[in-house]
Structure formats: structure tokens, C-alpha cells
């Protein structure tokens, strides 16, 4: 797979708020995101977040759905080679499924292949600019590379979409505090 230029991914991040989700995504996600932003507490947000993940994970084509479910189980069981094969086949057949790209990003991250993970995150966000999970993953990769500003951008976008991501908020606050201490 050809790697997305880090600059291209950062450029994509700056345009996410103006981008529309792919037409292949369920329209009910719009309502879920409106409700998520309106939530007053993390407890109130939890079932809506779960509904968003369920919508992302669902595919109307049964064979594709089974492939993603099996790849997810393989990732959880640390059968990375098998998961990678399943996802490669799935993405050749369904390149417009944002969550399949996100699963590939997760797999590559777990395999410590950050460049491949960033490429898959890029593909995820190109299809689903509201994917707070992909944004959090990108933020973690950028943070580990020492790119505090870019990590804060990714985490900030995730929090605009899902304000109740407590650990992400804490990470962003710690990054800002570290930046302030270092005078940057």
C-alpha cells in the first residue's frame, strides 16, 4: 500500500469540518452526532456512542459484514496475519467502507506499523470525517512521534465531535501543559 504523506493527512485534518461523509454511510449517523454533542454527561453520551459504533460496524452486504466481524475477532485474539489477509480482501471488495479502513488502521498500529496505520486513518477520514476513533488513533501516533501541535489538532477535532472522551481530554490537557512548560 502506498503511504499517505503526513502533510496530506494533516491537510485533510484541517478540512474535516467542511467535508461531508461518504454517501455509503447511514444517514441516521447525522442524528446520532447531533445527539452526542447535546449530551450533558458521559453517561448520557455512552449509548449514543455505542449506536455510532454499531452503525459504523454494520454493512448491508452479509459477506462483507462477516469478513469485518471475523477480522475484528482475529485482531482481538492477536491473529494479526489472518486479520490482515481478511481486511486486504475486504478492502479490495469494499473500498468505500470507512470502518474496514479503521480496523486496518488499528491492526497496523498494534503491529507497530505506524505509517501503514496513518495511511488507513487517512482513508477512514476521507470517507467518514466524523470518525472520532480514527482521530484519536492519529493523535496517539502523532504524539508518539513528538508532533505535539498535530496531535493536539487531531485530539481537538475528536473532542469537537465527541466532547465526552475523558481520556482524550486529559491527554490533550497534558500535552498543552507540557508545551506551556517548555515555552512552545
Nearest Cα to 159, choosing from 37, 40, 27?
A: 37
Distance CA 147, CA 6 (A): 11
pLDDT confidence of 45, banded at 50, 70, 90? Answer: very high
The confidence score (pLDDT) of residue 68 equals: 98
pLDDT at 178: 85
pTM: 0.93
Every domain of the chain and the residues it spans? 58-116, 130-184
CB of 174 within 8 A of CB of 61? no
Confidence class of residue 3 from pLDDT cuts 50, 70 and 90? low
Whether 43 shows a pLDDT value over 60: the answer reads yes
pLDDT single digits (tens) 119-160: 999 999 999 999 999 999 999 999 999 999 999 999 999 999
CA dihedral 34, 35, 36, 40 (to 10 degrees): 120
Across residues 44-62, what is the average pLDDT? Answer: 96
Name residues whose C-beta falls within 8 Å of residue 11's C-beta, 6 or more positions apart in sequence: none
CB atoms within 10 A of CB 20: 8
- pLDDT tens digit sequence for 31-42: 999 999 999 999
Q: Are 139 and 131 in contact (CB under 8 A)?
A: no
Question: What is the tens place of the pLDDT at every residue in 66-122?
Answer: 999 999 999 999 999 999 999 999 999 999 999 999 999 999 999 999 999 999 999
Sorting pLDDT into bands at 50, 70 and 90, what band is 1?
A: very low
CB atoms within 10 A of CB 152: 18
Q: State the number of CA atoms in the 13 A half-sphere of 63 facing the CB.
A: 5
3-state secondary structure 94-133: CCCCHHHHHHHHHHHHHCCCHHHHHHHHHHHHHHCCCCHH
Percent of the chain predicted with pLDDT > 90: 88
Determine the pLDDT at residue 147.
94
The answer, yes or no, to whether residue 184 has pLDDT greater than 80, is no
Amino acid at each position: 500500500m502506498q503511504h499517505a504523506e503526513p502533510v496530506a493527512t494533516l491537510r485533510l485534518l484541517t478540512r474535516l469540518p467542511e467535508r461531508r461523509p461518504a454517501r455509503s454511510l447511514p444517514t441516521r449517523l447525522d442524528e446520532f452526532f447531533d445527539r452526542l454533542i447535546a449530551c450533558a454527561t458521559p453517561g448520557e453520551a455512552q449509548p449514543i456512542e455505542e449506536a455510532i459504533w454499531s452503525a459504523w460496524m454494520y454493512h448491508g452486504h452479509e459477506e462483507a459484514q462477516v469478513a469485518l466481524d471475523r477480522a475484528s475477532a482475529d485482531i482481538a485474539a492477536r491473529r494479526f496475519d489472518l486479520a490482515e489477509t481478511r481486511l486486504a480482501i475486504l478492502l479490495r471488495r469494499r473500498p468505500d467502507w470507512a470502518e474496514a479502513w479503521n480496523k486496518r488502521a488499528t491492526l497496523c498500529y498494534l503491529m507497530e506499523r505506524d505509517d501503514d496505520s496513518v495511511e488507513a486513518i487517512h482513508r477512514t477520514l476521507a470517507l467518514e470525517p466524523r470518525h472520532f476513533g480514527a482521530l484519536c488513533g492519529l493523535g496517539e501516533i502523532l504524539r508518539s512521534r513528538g508532533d505535539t501541535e498535530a496531535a493536539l489538532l487531531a485530539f481537538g477535532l475528536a473532542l469537537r465531535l465527541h466532547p465526552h472522551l475523558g481520556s482524550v481530554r486529559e491527554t490533550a490537557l497534558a500535552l498543552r501543559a507540557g508545551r506551556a512548560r517548555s515555552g512552545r
